[in-house]
Amino acid sequence: MILARLVLKSLRQHLLSTAVTAGATALATGLLLAVWMVRDQAQAAFTGMTGGVDAVLGARGSKLQLVLNSLFHVDTSPGNLKWEDYEEIARHPAVALALPVAVGDNYRGFRIVGTLPEKLAELEWTSGQRLTVRPPGRMFEPTLREAVVGSFAAAKLGLKRGDVFQPYHGLNYTPQSYQHEEEYVVVGILAPSNTPADRVIWIPLAGLQKMGGHDPAAADEISAVLLKFKADNPLTARQLDSLYNKQGNRLTFAWPIAQVVAQLFDRLAWLDRVLALVAYLVVAIAAGSILASIYNSMNERRREIAILRALGARRRTVFGAVVLESAAIAGIGAMIGFAVYAAVFGIAGSILRAQTGVVLDPLAWHPVLVLAPLGIVALGALAGVVPAWKAYRTDVADNLTPHS
Amino acid sequence: MSLLEVADLKKSFTAPDGIRRTIIDIPHFAVEARQQVALKGESGSGKTTFLNLLAGILRPDAGRIRLAGSDVASLSESARDRLRATTVGYIFQTFNLLQGHTCLENVLLGMAFGPGEDRARAVALLERVGLRDHLAHRPRQLSTGQQQRVAVARALANRPRLVLADEPTGNLDHASAREALRLIRETCRENDAALLLVSHDRDVLGEFEDVREFAGLNRAVNDRP
């Protein structure tokens, strides 16, 4: 009780330094939590967002590029494959679903993906859940110039059912981009799935293949085939892996998806380490600022400490008060840190969503949400030990009279 | 047995010139329970050092200080803190109030490390010294005389057996000094506390029946070059 009051009084008396050091700690906590949570969730989202797709077949090239392009709708396509390749894999007895996709156009930066509507409707993106069109919309017809727009893309583009748009050529949009003459009618908006499908405009496969300005020789080619096997059959997948990747030299079979996406995080590991290092450095600086601010105030506090000691306070009481004050500053900072975390997470999450369609949840439980603030409070208490030692050693008799 | 009994008390310090000088050398000194004693002495004669030794703030080089049945000199620092928190009240010339705390909180601090906080007693003490309406005031919001009255209330907060007052009127004008002295003496009586007051003010000393010359007690004063 008395310790708590002494700490509260001291925090109030040194309000400016308390605010500055708590602010630095808040920044440290927020950054640490955000780096940790965004990395963890992004990794889980990318490696776990394979529901419905066991493998991807595409042109010869990088497996990671193939998966990123066909499943996450980022990066460029490694090339095309022939319609016969699609038919061959679609006929394979172990394949439950083969979804051909073709890319090459966009509408104001949002990718247009050509596919077969009946196959698209069959794909379960997450267990037991298929992509559905918000009523009263409907799926596009395979032979008409119709489009179904992902929820995120529709919101960003302001597209609604009945709107008409003309695709732009290429995967990236610039005002100078060539605009196709074909007009597509939006017949439906997809219900949000929190998957990359939300930021895609889906049109008939034939429509994209035969778009004016596209190479007529490639009119029967596609960009990739998303595959779902009938059962979790690693033997079949291994056979196909061997068939396409080792014996053949024309196509690439990306399997298993999670392992392929994990390569992305392996490549980004350095960035992860740099961000973590920055966060830890900020934490260290925050702890150092707590130490410095309290330590520097010890000169002006010596008389106060001497008075408390003259009133009967023991050395360990004043030591504990200083350590508690330091921990309290760290605790206040850690609490405010959740607001910083929410802000940083919100910005990072919205960028990630805009770029990949992956949705992160700032409220998702993770032990670091408790352990990091506790660790920071412990570090704060540790930072208080040095000034507390100074308080502990304060000479009572020398400091009872004011020094000018 | 006396409430306070000092025998062969010695304390020396190393001066800035590196020479160790004896500041206190008191063969005998005693104060009875509820007795009010004034110590007369010049500035720099070691009176404050003597009070700090009695309160257990300083440890003597030699000798014995028996206070309320405990040998202060032989106690550990922690035990001396405890004794001070429960048995001694201290009034300083500069009041030594904590500026960030209200009057009430300052008085509560006077009992916090000893018998424990008793808000009703703290309020009653402040009422007794005429500060009933200033409980939530901070020291800087009070006059010098009022600050000294808070210090008096704080010194009595832990129900001390002995109140040490070090030049308690040194910072007050004549009228305030007389009033503060009256208050200190009355409240000590009301609380059954003995009072040992140090001063060099003739008016203050004139109020006491028992005035002792510090120079007469402390052989170190006479030995100085």
pLDDT, tens digit, for every residue of A75-104?
A: 788 889 999 999 999 999 889 899 999 998
Q: Is A261 within the bounds of a domain?
A: no
Between CA A250 and CA A239 the distance in angstroms is: 16
How many percent of chain A have pLDDT more than 70?
97
Task: Identify the band that residue B3 occupies on the pLDDT scale cut at 50, 70 and 90.
Answer: very high
Q: Which of B82, B94, B96 sits opposite A312 (nearest CB)?
A: B82
Query: Which pLDDT score is estimated for A50?
Result: 66
Hey, CA dihedral for A113, A114, A117, A119, is it positive or negative?
Answer: negative
Q: Is A260 within the bounds of a domain?
A: no
For residue A350, which phi and psi values (nearest 5 degrees)?
-70, -35
User: How many other CB atoms are there within 10 angstroms of residue A104's CB atom?
Assistant: 22
| Same domain membership, residue A283 and residue A215 | no
pLDDT tens, residue by residue, B162-203: 999 999 988 888 888 888 899 999 999 999 999 999 998 888
Query: Which pLDDT score is estimated for B195?
Result: 97
Q: Is A356 within the bounds of a domain?
A: yes
Look up residue B33 and give its two tokens. 């329970």
Q: If interface means Cβ-Cβ distance under 8 Å, which residues of chain A face chain B?
A: 1-2, 5, 9-10, 12-13, 303-304, 307-315, 317, 396-397, 400-402
Q: Which residue of A has its CA nearest to B86?
A: A312
Residue type, A111: R
Task: Identify the band that residue A233 occupies on the pLDDT scale cut at 50, 70 and 90.
Answer: low
Cβ neighbours of A5 in B, within 8 Å: 105
Q: Using CB atoms and an 8 Å cut-off, which of residues 126-155 of chain B contact chain A?
A: 154
Quick check: A201 and A111 in contact, CB under 8 A? Answer: yes
Which one of A222, A255, A288 terminates a domain? A255
pLDDT tens, residue by residue, B113-168: 998 999 999 999 999 999 999 999 999 999 999 999 999 999 999 999 999 999 99
Chain A nearest-CA distance from B59, in A, is 11
Query: Which pLDDT score is estimated for A258?
Result: 83
| Same domain membership, residue A279 and residue A248 | no
Closest CA to B47 of B215, B206, B224, B225: B215
Reduced to 3 DSSP states, what percent helix, strand and coil does chain A have, rounded to the nearest 5?
Answer: 55, 15, 30
| Same domain membership, residue A219 and residue A310 | no
Between CA A230 and CA A167 the distance in angstroms is: 36
Between CA A66 and CA A80 the distance in angstroms is: 11
Question: Cβ of B118 under 8 Å from any chain A Cβ?
Answer: no
Quick check: A25 and A376 in contact, CB under 8 A? Answer: yes
Q: Is A59 within the bounds of a domain?
A: yes
Asked whether the predicted pLDDT for residue A114 surpasses 90, the reply is: yes
Q: Which of A304, A309, A401 sits opposite B98 (nearest CB)?
A: A304
Q: Using CB atoms and an 8 Å cut-off, which of residues 58-97 of chain B contact chain A?
A: 58, 77-78, 81-82, 84-86, 90, 92-94, 96-97
Q: Is A404 within the bounds of a domain?
A: no
Q: Is A263 within the bounds of a domain?
A: no
Which one of A228, A255, A282 terminates a domain? A255
Residue A311 to residue B57, Cβ atoms within 8 A? no
Chain B nearest-CA distance from A326, in A, is 18
Q: Which of B100, B110, B113 sits opposite A9 (nearest CB)?
A: B100
Residue A401 to residue B94, Cβ atoms within 8 A? yes
Residue B85 to residue A312, Cβ atoms within 8 A? yes
Q: Where is pLDDT greater, at A27 or A46?
A: A27
Chain A nearest-CA distance from B111, in A, is 8
For residue B168, which phi and psi values (nearest 5 degrees)?
-70, -15
| Same domain membership, residue A311 and residue A181 | no
Number of domains in chain A: 2
Q: Which residue of A has its CA nearest to B48?
A: A397
Residue A400 to residue B84, Cβ atoms within 8 A? no
Which one of A229, A255, A281 terminates a domain? A255
Q: Is A310 within the bounds of a domain?
A: yes
Q: Residue ranges per domain, chain B? A: 4-223
Residue type, B211: V
Q: Which of A303, A307, A312 sits opposite B81 (nearest CB)?
A: A312
Mean pLDDT computed over every residue of chain B? 92
For residue B129, which phi and psi values (nearest 5 degrees)?
-90, 10
Any bridge partners for residue A57, and if so which?
A225, A253
Residue B94 to residue A402, Cβ atoms within 8 A? yes
Asked whether the predicted pLDDT for residue A51 surpasses 90, the reply is: no
> Number of helices and strands (H, E) in chain B?
9, 9
Task: Identify the band that residue B9 occupies on the pLDDT scale cut at 50, 70 and 90.
Answer: very high
Look up residue B14 and give its two tokens. 């190393």
Look up residue B152 and give its two tokens. 């008096």
The correct answer on CATH 3.40.50.12240 for the domain covering B4-223 is no
Quick check: A326 and A384 in contact, CB under 8 A? Answer: yes
B56: left (phi over 0), alpha (psi -120 to 50) or beta: left
| Same domain membership, residue A58 and residue A8 | no
| Same domain membership, residue A62 and residue A178 | yes
Between CA A107 and CA A166 the distance in angstroms is: 7
Quick check: B23 and B220 in contact, CB under 8 A? Answer: yes
| Same domain membership, residue A66 and residue A96 | yes
| DSSP characters over A195-232 | SGGGG-EEEEHHHHHT-TTS-GGGTTEESEEEEEESS-
Query: Which pLDDT score is estimated for A127?
Result: 72
Q: Is A94 within the bounds of a domain?
A: yes
Residue A303 to residue B96, Cβ atoms within 8 A? yes
For A351-359, what is the mean pLDDT?
A: 81
Question: Mutate which of A311, A314, A317, A393 to disrupt the B interface (most B C-beta within 10 Å)?
Answer: A311
**CA B208 vs CA B35, B71, B72, B107, B199: distances in Å:** 11, 28, 27, 27, 11
Cβ neighbours of B87 in A, within 8 Å: none
Asked whether the predicted pLDDT for residue A66 surpasses 70, the reply is: yes
Query: Which pLDDT score is estimated for A404?
Result: 44
Domain range holding A221? 51-255
Residue A315 to residue B117, Cβ atoms within 8 A? no
Q: Which residue of B has its CA nearest to A305?
A: B98
Question: Cβ of B52 under 8 Å from any chain A Cβ?
Answer: yes
Asked whether the predicted pLDDT for residue B224 surpasses 80, the reply is: no
Question: Does the predicted interface ipTM exceed a cut of 0.95?
Answer: no
Query: Which pLDDT score is estimated for A94?
Result: 87
Residue type, A223: S
Asked whether the predicted pLDDT for residue A217 surpasses 80, the reply is: no
Task: Identify the band that residue B225 occupies on the pLDDT scale cut at 50, 70 and 90.
Answer: low
pLDDT tens, residue by residue, A312-336: 999 999 999 999 999 999 999 999 9
Task: Identify the band that residue A139 occupies on the pLDDT scale cut at 50, 70 and 90.
Answer: very high
